[in-house]
Amino acid sequence: MALKLYNTLTRVEEEFKPLSAVVGLYTCGPTVYNYQHVGNYRTYIFEDLLKRTLKLLGFSVRHVMNITDVGHLVSDADEGEDKMEVGSAREGKTAWDIAKTYTEAFLEDGVRLRLEPPDVLCKATDHVPEQIELVRRLEAKGFIYRTGDGLYFDTARFPDYGKLAGGSQRLAGLQAGARVEANPEKRNPSDFAVWKFSPKGKKRHMEWDSPWGRGFPGWHIECSAMAMKYLGESFDIHCGGIDHVPIHHTNEIAQSEGATGKPFVRYWLHGEFLLMNTAKMAKSKGGFITLRHLMEKGFDPLDYRYHCLTAHYRKQLDFSWEALESSKTARRRLRELALAFKKEPAKPACADDETAFRRALEDDLNVPGALASVWEGLRRQDIPAGAKAALLRMAEDLFRLGLFDEAEQALDGELERLLHEREQARRSKDFSRSDELRRELERRGLLVEDTAQGQRWRRK
Ligand code: AMP
Ligand code: ZN
């Protein structure tokens, strides 16, 4: 069987055939004005599982993720303040400091959740010239007009506008554009900013000169500019959460295809929401849950990773502490089995189980199905414990649930030495040295955290 993926653009499951030997994958990254919540991480976990599945099935992957550190306004329809400035006012720091703090927090959470780092992690603020260049291309083709507060893309000039959202969703997207009291100079409600001018008389923390005046890039343009820079003008897969369909990804398509005249992305994949009290978990609503909250309540981040495996990525998932507790128990049980079977003489995994596991993944990334096939294999009476250990190894390669961690606790002498040195550095309050050693240990696969009882470590 071949890999089939549901393509939001065509609204059917399609056989996945990449353009070239290396699959180009772009995933929209965080807006770094606050901690990411576990809803955001549901999407990143889905993307991580997609990437690992592609690799398991023999594809090579080049993965690019952006960091939105400028230009994402409070309303997706280009109105209101820049979220970075909101973070800055909230914490009394510059927008640059806010970006740094929350980018680091995001990367730390990524390690805790075993998200494989992208091949390219690119910041919008490091790519302003590329974004200006793209706007110039669009301007030369007549897609851009100027208003008092910035440059806008004229969606009426792009005949396929809204093709990603299609039907009723398209309407919802257009209404979203119209919902906010928009700039009255906009020609169409769905037109969106590609460059915004700095407000008169106000100095922004983040602003740049451009051929049109001092200001900052619109949010959507960053993803088009960076995706094309690192993956080419047409590439294979673009992912994000489902909320990006009617506006952000719709606008990425319009400006990319407007500029190049070529199809931008071949397969669009979108992860469904994590819900809280039946509504989308969202930062703007407050009361959202971060990974830190989970850890404070005694959950391992990998319990949450397990929890995300229990629902198909195109189905909504409710967040509740009880459900998370069940996932924690299930992961602990799986670990106990992994550690118990590990001592048995190795046998290859049973062919049927291996096939069921792969088949499920090939069926539009049916991760819950693959997980169920692992549990079924483990319950079978007719296969030896060594084969069960092999089955768990295979699952662990994809799922990364830390199943075998306890068995790998012994440290080599060099790591022991570095840990000891770090402890000494902390005792003598040499924090820059202890941070340096933390990074060094992390490079070597150990995560170190400081607790009231001293430093603690675990494997990545
Ligand atoms: P943001 O930091 O708001 O740009 O969002 C980062 C990623 O998380 C995007 O791909 C969003 O679509 C996704 N996302 C936002 N809220 C949720 C949610 N409640 N459940 C799943 N994914 C989400
Ligand atoms: Zn994006």
171 φ/ψ angles, rounded to the nearest 5 degrees: -60, -40
Domain ranges of the chain: 19-271, 294-407, 414-454
Cβ atoms of 5 and 260 within 8 Å: the answer is no
Q: What angle do CA 256, 258, 264 make, to 5 degrees?
A: 35
Q: What angle do CA 217, 220, 223 make, to 5 degrees?
A: 100
Tell me the per-residue pLDDT of 261-309, one tens digit each, with 9 for 90 and over. Answer: 999 999 999 999 999 888 899 877 767 899 999 999 999 999 999 999 9
Dihedral sign, Cα of residue 89, residue 90, residue 92, residue 98: negative
Cβ atoms of 285 and 256 within 8 Å: the answer is no
Give the DSSP letter of residue 284.
Answer: G
Angle between helix 38-56 and helix 301-309 axes, rounded to 10 deg: 70
Atom 12 (ligand 1) nearest CA: 241
Cβ atoms of 306 and 401 within 8 Å: the answer is yes
CA-to-CA distance for 392 and 204, rounded, in angstroms? 53
Dihedral sign, Cα of residue 249, residue 254, residue 258, residue 262: positive
pLDDT in tens, the chain (460 residues): 799 999 999 999 999 999 999 999 999 999 999 999 999 999 999 999 999 999 999 999 999 999 999 878 877 666 678 888 888 888 888 888 999 999 999 999 999 999 999 999 999 999 999 999 999 999 999 999 999 999 999 999 999 999 999 854 455 555 555 544 568 899 999 999 999 999 888 888 889 999 999 999 998 999 999 999 999 999 999 999 999 999 999 999 999 999 999 999 999 999 999 998 888 998 777 678 999 999 999 999 999 999 999 999 999 999 999 999 999 999 999 998 998 888 788 788 888 999 999 999 999 999 999 999 999 999 999 988 999 999 999 999 999 999 988 644 556 667 878 888 898 888 888 899 999 999 998 888 888 888 766 787 776 6
Tokens describing residue 21: 């030997």
Alpha carbons within 13 A on the beta-carbon side of 110: 19
* Cα(127) to centroid(ligand 1), Å: 22
* Cα(213) to centroid(ligand 2), Å: 24
* Cα(387) to centroid(ligand 2), Å: 43
- By the 10 Å C-beta count (0-12 exposed, 13-18 middle, 19+ buried), 56 is classed as middle
336 φ/ψ angles, rounded to the nearest 5 degrees: -60, -40
Kind plus residue range of the DSSP H or E element containing 421: helix 413-427
Helix (H, G, I), strand (E, B) or coil at 364: coil
* Cα(38) to centroid(ligand 1), Å: 9
Tokens describing residue 442: 């992390």
Transcribe 45-90 into DSSP letters.
HHHHHHHHHHHHTT-EEEEEEEEB-S--EEETTTEEEEHHHHHHHH
CA-to-CA distance for 81 and 79, rounded, in angstroms? 7
Tokens describing residue 283: 């930062």
Atom 6 (ligand 1) nearest CA: 30
Tell which atom from ligand 1 comes closest to the C-alpha of 281.
19
Kind plus residue range of the DSSP H or E element containing 209: none
Kind plus residue range of the DSSP H or E element containing 389: helix 385-399
Helix (H, G, I), strand (E, B) or coil at 122: strand
Cβ atoms of 15 and 2 within 8 Å: the answer is yes
66 lines ligand 1 (CB under 6 A): no
CA distances from 98 to 86, 95, 195, 220, 420 (A): 10, 5, 22, 21, 32
Question: pTM of this prediction?
Answer: 0.87
Atom 9 (ligand 1) nearest CA: 241
Fold of the CATH domain 19-271: Rossmann fold (3.40.50)
274 lines ligand 1 (CB under 6 A): yes
